[in-house]
Amino acid sequence: MPRKLLYLIVFIEGFCSLGAEIVALRRLLPHVGSAIVVTAPTIGFFLLALALGYASGARVTTHFQSVVARNFQISAVLAGLGLARFTVDGLFTAVQPTWLAYLLFIGGVLCPIAWLLGQTVPVLTNLMKHARAGEASGYALYWSTLGSFLGSVSLSLGVMQWLGVSVAVLVCTLLLALGSLLLTTGSGVRWPQGAKVGLVCALATAINLYPATEVQETAYADYTVKRVMLPDGNNPRTFFINDSLASMMDDSTPPRYARYVQHLRRILLEELGLYDKEVLVLGAGGFTLSHQEPTNRYTYVDIDPAIRQIAEQRFLKGPMQGSFIVDDARHFVRSTQRRFDAVVVDVFSSHTAIPGHLVTQEFWQDTRRTLAPQGVLLINLILDGKLETPYARNLLATIESVYGRCAVEVLHKAKPLSNVVVSCYNSSRAAQASTYTDERNQADTDLAISH
């Protein structure tokens, strides 16, 4: 086997194995979020399957090219069909609980791809007859790792950003199909092999690119605008991000919005009486907080550059009100020199999941430095309606460890999950509290001091 061809094959293996892992993490995002408890096991299972693939490849003693060609064919099928949005969404819809669907996806799609492609380097280094063992394995691993690097960078920063996740799936599928054809060139079975590969490519193209869908994919999220039925609603519609309701509005005069958005607007405009002030919104959602609201200046920060165009064209039906900055919320509040009269935190990666770096004490300290001296922080959370879970208690305690006592309003008290709006003031400070008892009751003294 020509050395350049061998290096090309292991380059494709590295490119597509890491590409499959990146696409898998992105496909899981709408269903299980992006928390470390999801990404770490996913990467761990992938590496375990890759290690087992190395061991399996080391035991192959004959028919080296045909073994790798077969592995590439099967991997092309698994990637092209198993990583398609249609397949992943269908799996998580049909299988409950969610953790079982996750295990089926990892065990049935991602790990088999890693195991099959992991055999490539140990198998093909057997064909480097005139090279030392160290030289053969070293160069093979170099080209494989180089492929992994370029695959992860080009797919995440290029293909997925500009062409979508489905195109990234198709790129990996076509490269694996090409690799299988290159491995069988000259073996005398070109036509049957070509027919199989052609069928795989056609099926992958059909399932990834051609099904009619309302979902618009980006590297960060799936966006959908859906019509809903509301009493007395005028063209009511909802904006879904990663299969979670992010915002709602209609064309009434004045428009009707999601309840939590109306509540936030009432706090800003009526209760706080903000006029001609600077308002920072972390997490764009549907840009409805500033919709037809000209009294204040709004600045939206969101990590996805595509969300503005999608929201304006498909949801708002017009330009958003305010300015838009593409940035990570944590990075923005840490680096900006601007100060705002109000900061609204409305960041979610899925229905209930806030990115882990946006719930820590350090993040809330960074939000505080962006506030004007008399500024207010408004936070939209989705928690259990009774605020009894460890997550609800600990998250609220983390916020109050920075801001002191905050107002907590549960908007849907009878529901298992509810929007919870937290209001904190920059003028407040965290302080140690005391308990009133019959033996030592300082309530009257504290009341007098407070007044």
**Domain residue spans in the chain?**
3-213, 222-425
Of the candidates 166, 198, 204, the residue with the CA atom closest to the CA atom of residue 78: 204
Region 30-58: mean pLDDT is: 92
> N- to C-terminal Cα distance for the chain?
88
Residue 200 has pLDDT above 90, yes or no: no
pLDDT tier, 451 (very low <50, low <70, confident <90, very high otherwise): low
Min mean pLDDT across 168-182, 294-308, 343-357 is at 343-357
What pLDDT score was predicted for residue 362? 96
Which of 178-192, 214-228, 288-302, 425-439 holds the top average pLDDT? 288-302
Region 15-34: mean pLDDT is: 92
Residue 186 has pLDDT above 60, yes or no: no
pLDDT (tens digit per residue) in 89-103: 999 999 999 999 999
How far, in Å, CA of 220 to CA of 134, rounded? Answer: 41
Residue 120 has pLDDT above 90, yes or no: yes
Give the predicted TM-score (pTM) of the model: 0.84
Region 306-321: mean pLDDT is: 93
Region 318-346: mean pLDDT is: 95
What pLDDT score was predicted for residue 187? 52
pLDDT tier, 125 (very low <50, low <70, confident <90, very high otherwise): confident
Q: What would you measure as the largest C-alpha separation in the chain, in angstroms?
A: 96
What pLDDT score was predicted for residue 229? 82
Residue 333 has pLDDT above 90, yes or no: yes
Residue 435 has pLDDT above 90, yes or no: no
CATH superfamily of the 222-425 domain: Vaccinia Virus protein VP39 (3.40.50.150)
Residue 335 has pLDDT above 90, yes or no: yes
Residue 133 has pLDDT above 90, yes or no: no
243: left (phi over 0), alpha (psi -120 to 50) or beta: left
What pLDDT score was predicted for residue 130? 64
Residue 55 has pLDDT above 60, yes or no: yes
Residue 212 has pLDDT above 70, yes or no: no
How far, in Å, CA of 390 to CA of 328, rounded? Answer: 27
Q: Six-digit token pair at 344?
A: 């609204």
Region 197-219: mean pLDDT is: 83
Region 179-198: mean pLDDT is: 74
**Residue 280: partners with Cβ closer than 8 Å, 6 or more residues away:** 299, 301, 338, 340, 342, 343, 344, 370
What pLDDT score was predicted for residue 23? 96
Min mean pLDDT across 13-17, 71-75, 165-169, 209-213 is at 209-213
Residue 16 has pLDDT above 80, yes or no: yes
Region 366-371: mean pLDDT is: 95
**Residue 197: partners with Cβ closer than 8 Å, 6 or more residues away:** 73, 76, 177, 180, 181
pLDDT (tens digit per residue) in 243-300: 888 899 998 888 999 999 999 999 999 999 999 999 999 999 899 999 999 999 999 9
| Right CATH for 3-213 from 3.30.1490.20, 1.20.1250.20, 3.40.47.10, 3.30.1700.10 | 1.20.1250.20
Within 10 Å of residue 264's Cβ, how many Cβ atoms?
Answer: 25
Region 14-26: mean pLDDT is: 96
